[in-house]
Structure 1
Amino acid sequence: MKTALDLVASAKQLIHEVSVEEADTVIKQADVLIDVRESDEYYSGHIPGAINIPRGLLEFRLSNDEALNRRDLNIVLFCKNSGRSALSAQSLKEMGYLNVTSIAGGFDAWQEANKPIIVPSLPDFG
């Protein structure tokens, strides 16, 4: 029986993954940067310019959003430590997306490299 880690390891054999050092260049060339973490993770901090589409909704959102369903989009994905983004990249590849990249090490590696992050502030309801 395979574990989640086995699935991630298999996915990483089939996808394009870049290091955090290469990520800046790849992000600048991307049509869309997608954070596949859950919403609470996204709102606790994310890479500037990222939109949030949680892993569980990714295939549905890309299929149903005209701005995101072109198969030639240049897509960059990240999550906490690159497991979910690797699985997401593999899934999008299977859907026919041609240019999908995952950031190795994910948001954790991004933060460890002291790269810029955005922490959205919630409105004051008080």
Structure 2
Amino acid sequence: MSKSEDEYFLEQVASKIQHQLTLHEHIFAIGTLGQTATPTVSSLIIMSSNLDFVQRAVLLASSKFLGRILGAHMVEERWIATIQDLGVSPFDEDALWDVLAKASRTPMDPLMPPPGSMSINEMLEHARAKLQRITPMQAYDELRESQVGAPTFLVDIRPQAQREREGAIHGSLIIERNVLEWRFDPRSEARLAIADRYDLRIIIFCQEGYTSSLAAYSLQQLGLLNATDIIGGYAAWSEAELPVDSDRRSETHTQESRSLVSLAGSVV
């Protein structure tokens, strides 16, 4: 059959199917199949009792059959398209089922949290339940111990602007939050020289001890089970009158931290 005959035939079939489904909400697709031996132009109709369903299906199908839709138009609540080699690949049938299923799915209430999601406070509580958090003084004492079972590092994940404004802790490693996992994952090609083992003691701090909890938990998920964070962050460390470099500029501190990373890389 010609392209116009294809479309006419499919429209007749679609109308009969829709007539049978008049009392029910529905969406369906019918099409002519291409030939495996030679390139074929096929017709496809997506039809529904709900115009929103059809409009969603059009967007989904356009993505699924990218570059293969040669032409398309809407007629009331049906979408009629010309598609290259429809049905030649097993992908096409699965793709169409997926389009119809997603197009007819009841939209989520944008004001209701999706099932399984957590608020940021719940995420924080969940992360902290996995950590043995320590106070600034406990961190300071731990860093001063001469004999420890594994290399211990104090890690500052705050952004540069915050370090410049608030000050820094001399000797801490500056690893900003956006690259933390890549720098400490022993399996990462972008890891630090020191991050070649899973028993590292990594003590993380941010400004007030919130982001650091999420960061430490993320490292634990990588297998670095000794990772933790400082309760209250840099603010609590400073308030406890522990050593800080309040006048030291970030650039100088970064250079010192890089030197420390280089030295720490030889620790085994």
Q: Taking structure 2 as the reference length, what is the TM-score of the superposition?
A: 0.42
Determine whether 1:116 maps to 2:243: yes
Bigger relative contact order, structure 1 or 2 (CA pairs below 8 A, ≥6 apart): 1
Identity of aligned residues (%): 29
What is the DSSP-based 3-state SS (H/G/I as helix, E as strand, rest coil) of the residue aligned with 1:21?
A: helix
Residue in 2 that maps onto 1:13:
129
Q: Quick one: distance in 2 between partners of 1:69 and 1:90?
A: 19
For 1:17, what is the secondary structure of its paired residue?
coil
**Runs of 4 or more consecutive aligned structure 1 residues displaced over 3 Å after TM superposition:** none
* Rounded Cα–Cα distance in structure 2 between residues aligned with 1:103 and 1:27: 12
2:233 counterpart (100, 106, 112): 106
Query: In structure 2, what is the Cα distance between the partners aligned to 1:11 and 1:71?
Result: 19
Per-residue displacement from partner, 1:95-124 (whole Å, max 9, x unpaired)?
00131121101011111112221132368x
Task: Name which one, 1 or 2, has greater alpha-carbon Rg.
Answer: 2
Q: CA deviation at 1:34?
A: 0.4
CA RMSD of aligned residues (A): 1.9
In the alignment, what sits opposite 2:29? none
Equivalent in the alignment of 2:35: none
Shift of 1:70: 1.7
Size of the aligned set, in residue pairs, is: 123
Pairwise CA distance, 1:4: 2.3
SS in 2 for 1:68: coil
1:78 and 1:22 mapped to 2: Cα distance?
13
Summarize deviations over 1:7-28 as a string: whole Å, max 9, x none. 1122111112011231211223
Are 1:46 and 2:168 matched, yes or no? yes
Please list every run of 5 or more consecutive structure 2 residues that lacks an aligned counterpart in the other structure. 1-112, 146-150, 186-190, 253-268
What is the TM-score normalised by the length of structure 1? 0.85
AA in 2 matched with 1:99:
N
1:35 to 2:162 alignment? no
Aligned to 2:52: none
